[in-house]
Structure 1
Amino acid sequence: MSEPPAAIILADSVTKPTGAWIGAVLVSASHGGVYAAYCAAKAGVRAMILNDAGRGKDDAGVGGAAWCDALGLAYAAIDTMSARIGNAEDMAARGAISTVNEVARTVGVAVGQPVMEAAQLLTLAPTVTAEIPVYEEARTELPPGPSGRHVVLADSASLIGPQDVGQVIVCGSHGGMLGTDPMTALKVDGYAAFYNDAGGGADGAGFSRLPALDDRGIAAGTVAAMSARIGDGRSTYEDGVLSRVNETAKRLGGAEGMALKDFAQRLIA
């Protein structure tokens, strides 16, 4: 009996897997870095298409490509300027492939293809049998400043929780809202929050959390993708240069071109 065709699943984020992902082709609007690829692989997908997040510093936005090749797992990413990061429906409607790993290439996926054409080809990708290596995702709380606030470094916004209310949150995640729900901008009321701009992306999606956080009185900004590795909270903090800040952040002294580390220290002073 022949194997049934693999399903194609759309998801705004790779951090919320379901049982339906097992053996499926995942089209997710997350960035294409190693941690995102790990989340998809751990969920048991047959293949994945992510967002290249402008590639960015050290090509971190497509770091998952080589990582997946080592597992025999098919991987592709779209050009961040072709569809909104954080929005899988938009990615499926107008995304164009920019990056293909060797495994995906064997089933005919190529740069320039529309997302859903590539996804159909990926239903023919081989099933991974290799064990998925453990990825130690970083979450670090730095010592508090004179204000009592401290900086939280997190490789993914999914690591932010109730303990981070009122703190300065520095994420390796992209600065795009998930789908169209403004409450996805930040799941707790931090004092401030910072992200990677993913190259800005289609319709400026890489900055779309910022006005939503303004509405909640939370200072927020993005660092330029070429200044810090997406998916790496410590790089965001140590290397990041602010590319955009919201009005709340401006009132607290934030400005484009400022080193994020300097502004974060001001916010905990």
Structure 2
Amino acid sequence: MGDDAGALVFDSATKLDSSCRGRVCVAASHGGIYVGHLAAKAGVAAVIVSDAGIGREGAGVAGLALLDELGIPAGAASHLSARIGDGQDLLACGVLSRVNGAAMRLGLAPGLGMAEAQRLLRGAPAPGPLSRPPMAEARFPIAIPGARVPVIGVDSNSLVQPGDAGAVVVTGSHGGLLGGRGSAVSAAVRAAVYNDAGIGKDEAGVSRLPALEAAGIAGLTVSAESARIGDARSTFGDGIVSRANAPARRFGVSEGMTAAEAVARIARD
């Protein structure tokens, strides 16, 4: 996290907390429904996220409408302008691709750079209390006939647990390393599946794959156009593989394969 000219900057919206109340925040997560909920729960005055390639059913920016219902200005920067998962790059390089109605009323519009967006957002009023019930991300088992290891669905990579070691985890998260560094997953899983978030600037949307490979973990992404980002059920049920690292290829995974088939191959091997 960082603080620049009044904006709090985060690599992930999962780090939004009480320090964000009444503040303008930049969070380099996708702009999905749950991320919108996290921003509202933290009491942000306004937030800018990544559009994550926008993707299937507009899932990459769906949180902007939720925030608009609450009167909270929100915008999404193009995944081609700034690296997803890297708050400082979004702050330095982001160019807005989508804004909600509350942001429009403050003068924000697609094509605006971050310096001007931040200046305009300083006029955002402090939000009232969150009027929606708490929203929980999902964690659930996925049944694979003949599987030799557990297969777990998690809407967010942050829900991976130490006890998932050896399992296949199917996430709704983007495939970008946070801040462009660190570990890709918090447990020694057999394989991990992510959304490619449109791949984007410097291929940030698939940057977890080399890190997983270095740890000997099979990693693959599904196309943002094929599956709703933030939704592990869609990753598994709708996803089409867009990238696979070398350990995944050794299980027979290849681009163009359905995520369901790829996961089954890894879980049964």
Question: Does the pair score TM above 0.5?
Answer: yes
Count of matched residue pairs: 263
Show structure 1 runs of 4+ deviating over 6 A: none
Q: In the TM superposition, what is the alpha-carbon distance from 1:142 to its structure 2 partner?
A: 2.2
TM-score between both structures, scaled by the size of structure 1 = 0.94
Return the alpha-carbon distance in structure 2 between the equivalents of residues 229 and 107 of structure 1: 29
Correspondence 1:36-51 to 2 at 5 A:
36-51=35-50
Within-5 A mapping of 1:204-219: 204-219=203-218
Check if 1:255 corresponds to 2:242. no
How far, CA to CA, are the matches of 2:256 and 2:209 in structure 1?
Answer: 16
Counting only pairs closer than 5 Å after superposition, residues 155-166 of structure 1 correspond to structure 2 as 155-166=155-166
What is the CA deviation profile of residues 148-174 of structure 1, one whole-angstrom value per residue up to 9, with x for unaligned ones? 312111111111111211111111000
Q: Aligned partner of 1:26: which letter?
A: C
User: What is residue 93 of structure 1 aligned with on the other side?
Assistant: 92
Separation in 1 of the partners of 2:115 and 2:34?
23
> What is the rounded CA distance, in whole Å, between the counterparts of 1:240 and 1:33 in structure 2?
17
CA RMSD in angstroms comes to 1.4
Q: For 2:48 and 2:16, locate their aligned partners in 1 and report how far apart those are by CA, in whole Å.
A: 15
- Return the alpha-carbon distance in structure 1 between the equivalents of residues 136 and 240 of structure 2: 25
Shift of 1:229: 0.1
Distance 1:91 1:12, change over 3 A: same
Alignment of 1:1-269 (within 5 A): 7-129=6-128, 130-143=130-143, 146-183=146-183, 185-269=184-268
* TM-score, structure 2 as length reference: 0.94
Q: Which runs of 5+ in 1 are unaligned?
A: 1-5
8 Å contact from structure 1 (residues 41, 132) kept in 2: no
Amino acid in structure 1 at the alignment position of 2:134: V
What SS is found at the alignment partner of 1:182? Answer: coil
With over 3 angstroms needed to count, the CA separation of the structure-2 counterparts of 1:238 and 1:144, relative to structure 1, is closer
Query: How far does residue 182 in structure 1 lie from its aligned partner after superposition?
Result: 2.9
CA offset at residue 212 of structure 1?
Answer: 0.4
C-alpha displacement at 1:144, in angstroms?
6.1
Q: In the alignment, residue 94 of structure 1 is paired with which amino acid?
A: C
In the TM superposition, what is the alpha-carbon distance from 1:65 to its structure 2 partner? 1.3
Structure 2 unaligned segments of length 5 or more: list them.
none
Rounded to whole Å, the distance in 2 between the matches of 1:20 and 1:7 is 12
Q: Which residue identity lines up with residue 82 of structure 2 in the other structure?
A: A
Shift of 1:145: 5.1
Alpha carbons of structure 1 residues 189 and 88: separation in structure 2 relative to 1, 3 Å = same
For 1:116 and 1:60, the matched residues in 2 are separated by: 26
CA contact (8 A) 1:27 1:119 kept: no
Distance in 2 (alpha carbons) for counterparts of 1:232 and 1:116: 32
- What is the identity, as a one-letter code, of the residue corresponding to 2:106? V
CA contact 1:22–1:44 (8 Å) conserved in 2: yes
Offset, 1:23: 1.0
Q: Does the C-alpha gap of structure 1 residues 147 and 102 become closer, same or farther in structure 2, counting only changes over 3 Å?
A: closer
Work out whether residues 222 and 244 of structure 1, in 8 Å CA contact, stay in contact via their aligned partners in 2.
Answer: yes
